[in-house]
Structure 1
Amino acid sequence: MVGLLRKTTGLVGLAVCDSPLQHNKNKLEGLLQGGQIEELILQAEKELSLARKMMHWKPWEPLVEEPPANQWKSSLCDF
């Protein structure tokens, strides 16, 4: 069984999940077709982190004050 475990993801900076059997690695990778399970876990963790930040930021609430009319106008380029 040890020979079947992944030793590397082949992706720089992305470590191998230390408990792939717990995550049903092969079945999930095949079903989701979203990459290696380590990538999917990392993305899910980042999305959870963002969701927690959004709860704090409350972007759905109205602005305290209106933005300036020319907020997005740049003097460097005219469209």
Structure 2
Amino acid sequence: TTGLVGLAVSLHPHERLRILYTKILGCVQAMPRDAAYRKYTEQLITERLDHVKSEPDVEKLEKKINCGQIEEVIAQ
């Protein structure tokens, strides 16, 4: 349990995050290269995706991303 009302445990958080982050990176490609939002988003999502790919332990991944439980990160 996540301990959070209405937020179920993700059975495959790495897979979910890989899919989400890949989609986000694809979406920002439509923005101008010099747009601040695109630059910041690419930097943040690329960093997080690197963590997802390199850290198999969910608890350690949560600490590296530093945005709450992994289920909260998926919901963001």
Question: TM-score over 0.5 for the alignment?
Answer: no
- Return the structure number with greater helix share: 2
TM-score using structure 1 length? 0.38
Bigger radius of gyration? 1
Q: Which has the higher contact order (CA 8 A, sep 6+)?
A: 2
